[in-house]
């Protein structure tokens, strides 16, 4: 009798153990099904996009709340030299693009900055160009882009310079240049060839203002 009872007890314990293991296995399988392995193609595309974002947006961006001393002094100089200066409210992000010289003119490289990261002024001379039948008033934009530190500004200065100096269908119609001022970039641009000399006449003046403010 004792031997028979012992066999029965062992049989019951074995059945309980097997059932418990089966429940654990089912739980584990259910948990794995709830958190499946991501699709390889989706994961690789996501990783590539993240890598691209790090390459194109390597800097820590900050809000540009007010003009630098150099920009404030430039604004005063423009007003003294017979320009009407207007602070422009930012409506859109600031873009720098280069395009491939192929039939489709596909975008080759792009850098963008949110509207919170830059400030702009629009300078328009009060008197029109002499010896011109049309009412041409020289005008250009001056934009200041803010960065976390000088190294971020220097890296973006290099990238932007490469883009705006390209002879593609997009950039050859822009007449512009860029200057670094510590952790900021000053970007001067105009849309008409006839105004180019007026915009570029302030390049050395801006550089002198920046040097003076560093002393």
Q: How confident is the model at residue 109 (pLDDT cuts 50, 70, 90)?
A: confident
Question: Cα-flanking dihedrals φ and ψ of residue 166, to 5°?
Answer: -75, 145
Lowest mean pLDDT among 145-149, 165-169, 201-205: 165-169
Question: What tokens does 208 get?
Answer: 């002198």
Task: Compute the C-alpha angle 142/182/85, nearest 5°.
Answer: 20
Residue 209 has pLDDT above 60, yes or no: yes
What does the pLDDT look like over 154-194, one tens digit per residue? 999 999 999 988 877 667 778 999 999 999 999 999 988 88
Q: How confident is the model at residue 213 (pLDDT cuts 50, 70, 90)?
A: confident
Residue-level pLDDT at 34: 35
Residue-level pLDDT at 205: 97
Helices (H), the chain: 2-34, 40-56, 69-80, 150-164, 196-200, 203-214
What does the pLDDT look like over 11-53, one tens digit per residue? 555 555 555 555 444 433 433 333 344 455 555 554 555 444 4
Higher pLDDT, 42 or 65: 65
Residue range 84-108: mean pLDDT, rounded = 81
Residue range 3-13: mean pLDDT, rounded = 56
Q: How confident is the model at residue 10 (pLDDT cuts 50, 70, 90)?
A: low
Bridge partners (DSSP) of residue 208 are none
Residues 204, 188: contact at Cβ < 8 Å? no
d(CA 41, CA 32) in angstroms, rounded, equals: 20
Residue range 58-82: mean pLDDT, rounded = 86
How large a percentage of the chain has pLDDT more than 70?
66
Residue range 119-128: mean pLDDT, rounded = 94
The mean pLDDT of the chain is: 78
């Amino acid at each position: 009798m004792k031997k028979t009872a012992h066999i029965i007890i062992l049989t019951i314990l074995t059945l309980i153990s097997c059932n418990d293991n089966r429940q654990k296995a089912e739980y584990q399988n259910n948990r794995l099904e709830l958190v499946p392995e991501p699709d390889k193609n989706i994961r690789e595309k996501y990783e590539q996009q993240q890598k691209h974002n790090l390459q194109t947006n390597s800097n820590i961006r900050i809000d540009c709340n007010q003009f630098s001393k150099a920009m404030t002094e430039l604004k005063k100089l423009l007003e003294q030299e017979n320009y009407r200066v207007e602070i422009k409210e930012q409506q859109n992000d600031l873009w720098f693009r280069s395009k491939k010289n192929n039939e489709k003119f596909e975008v080759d490289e792009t850098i963008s900055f949110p509207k919170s990261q830059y400030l702009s002024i629009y300078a328009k001379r009060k008197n029109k160009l002499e010896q011109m039948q049309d009412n041409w008033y020289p005008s250009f934009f001056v934009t200041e882009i803010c960065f976390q530190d000088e190294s971020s500004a220097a890296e973006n200065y290099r990238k932007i310079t490469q883009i705006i100096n390209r002879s593609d269908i997009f950039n050859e119609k822009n007449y512009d240049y860029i200057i670094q001022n510590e952790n900021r970039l000053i970007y001067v641009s105009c849309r008409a060839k006839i105004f180019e000399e007026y915009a570029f006449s302030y390049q050395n003046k801006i550089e002198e203002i920046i040097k003076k403010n560093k002393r």
